[in-house]
Amino acid sequence: MAILEWLRDPHAPRVCVVSGDERCGKSLFLAWLAEQATRPDVVMERRVHGLVPLAGHSALAASWLLAEQLGSAARTPGDLVAAVAADRRRTVIILPDLHHAASPEAVEELICALARFEHVRLIVETREVPAGLSALAPAVMDLRAAQWRDEERYAVWAASAQSSEPDAPPGSQQAAPDLDDPRSVCGVDPVQVTALYEFSADPHGGLRAAWLRAGGALTRPCSPAERALVLWAALGDDADPRLVNELQTLACGAGWTVCWKRVRGDISPPWPGPALGLGVGAGETAGSVAVVDHQGIVRLIEAEGGQAQGRLPQAVPGATAVAFGRDGGLAVLDGFGRLSLRESPTVPRSAGIASLLETEAKPLERLVAGVEDSATAVACAGDAVAYGNGAGTVQVVMLDGDTIAVTHEALHKGAVTGLAGLELAEGGTLIYSGGQDGRVRMWAPGRAPLATALRERNCAVTALSAAATPDGPVLVIGWEDGLVEYSAVEAEAAGRFFRPGAAVRSVAALENGNIMVGTNEMLVCLTPS
């Protein structure tokens, strides 16, 4: 087939348009192509990575579905274009039914933006080639031309084909959902709901904002209960208060219950800003959680209800991570990979003569002083500070009486992107690390690391946290594609999942079994149900 040769030709146009009406068999042809190009044994040059039928889709819904298939948590067409630009791997996308899209012009803009990149190939199916795509000088395969079909076999197929109107948009007879009713929007086609909300000016009691905030977590295959949970977590404080009870009821069976949440724009209680990093208090700061925002401001909130407890007096430029020591200090990692010590405002300070007599350095201060290399992630556990670097090595600085001991292990290919630590009851420390290589490793300093990864996926780890709960140690993993994974450390399979709909920036495992998930848009605390 000529289109397979087009896929293999590095000098061919980046866009191929398959045109004609349904009587030309476009749908059958693209179905065959998708089947051939997604087999496990297909050569790399012919592999298809994304397939989104555009009938009834807006540009936003198409972006969400493509992002999921490409392993991204992009929430807007612009986010998707940026994600594809950053990932230089070859990417082939099939987009049928452009002429039946809910907003063809906006989808064309998305296609044109993606076509700018040399590593992207797009196969677009439409009735006629629109002007926007013509400007790209695409390869055109008009299936109405005799060269693309066997006339005798085509006549037999056309005689047996259904006599319904050609090119009728799929699902065009479906009743429109009630956009004010949570049960209705959670139970129908999410692509249709997305298009209706995108072009609506009515807030619909707050459901519209929550739906658009949650993004691709709603259009991916999931149950109505899971959609209700995601909407519940994304609901703003200005929403109709009756929606909370309705969504809570609908979310039964989703595996989680929302304890509390803060989303962008919330006033009472206020949203703490993008949660780029979370640190769970220990010892004197137990019950507190530190939240790092995009301006390097570190705020303290209560883990139980999210109420504000104060903030550090000075911002840490480019701060990306924070970890509590058991003495109440905070180790903050800045944008240059430097680790610095800060004092928590929730810990009482000595005054007067007592403060003058305190000349000995605190444990966390000594540990932070022992960190000499540039770091990409940090965690505290007992009398140890762990940090990772861009080469995949994890180093642990530990107090050994009056001395500092340092041990290290190469655990990842690429940068270490997340760290968590657990102090064992019988003594010793467990370190969990996640990396750009999509692996989560476990290591006890002083021993050889496990030969196999605890978890492994085809996308990077973005955040990691561990806690010792009454039911045993648990691990929470944030992945680059927006998945949050919660599991018992000793279990072979993951226990629960959650997708907030945006890129996961931070996670926190709490000792009572709850978890916190931070994104650029929200901070939510969940409890297993």
Q: Which pLDDT tens digit goes with each residue over 474-528? A: 999 999 999 999 988 766 555 789 999 999 999 999 999 999 999 999 999 999 9
Contact in structure between 419 and 464 (CB atoms under 8 Å)? yes
pLDDT digits 0-9 by tens, 395-416:
999 887 778 888 999 999 999 9
Can you say whether the dihedral through the CA atoms of 470, 525, 396, 449 is positive or negative?
positive
What is the pLDDT confidence band of residue 66, given thresholds at 50, 70 and 90? very high
Nearest of 497, 440, 503 to residue 466 by alpha carbon: 440
pLDDT digits 0-9 by tens, 197-236:
999 999 999 999 999 999 899 999 999 999 999 999 999 9
Strand runs (DSSP E) across 416-460, as ranges? Answer: 416-423, 429-435, 439-443, 455-456
What is the pLDDT confidence band of residue 279, given thresholds at 50, 70 and 90? very high
What tokens appear for 454 in the block? 């605890």
Q: Which residue has the higher pLDDT, 477 or 169?
A: 477
3-state secondary structure 39-76: CCCCCHHHCCCEECCCCCCCHHHHHHHHHHHCCCCCCC
Q: What is the pTM of this model?
A: 0.87
Beta-carbon-side half-sphere exposure of residue 419 (alpha carbons within 13 Å): 32
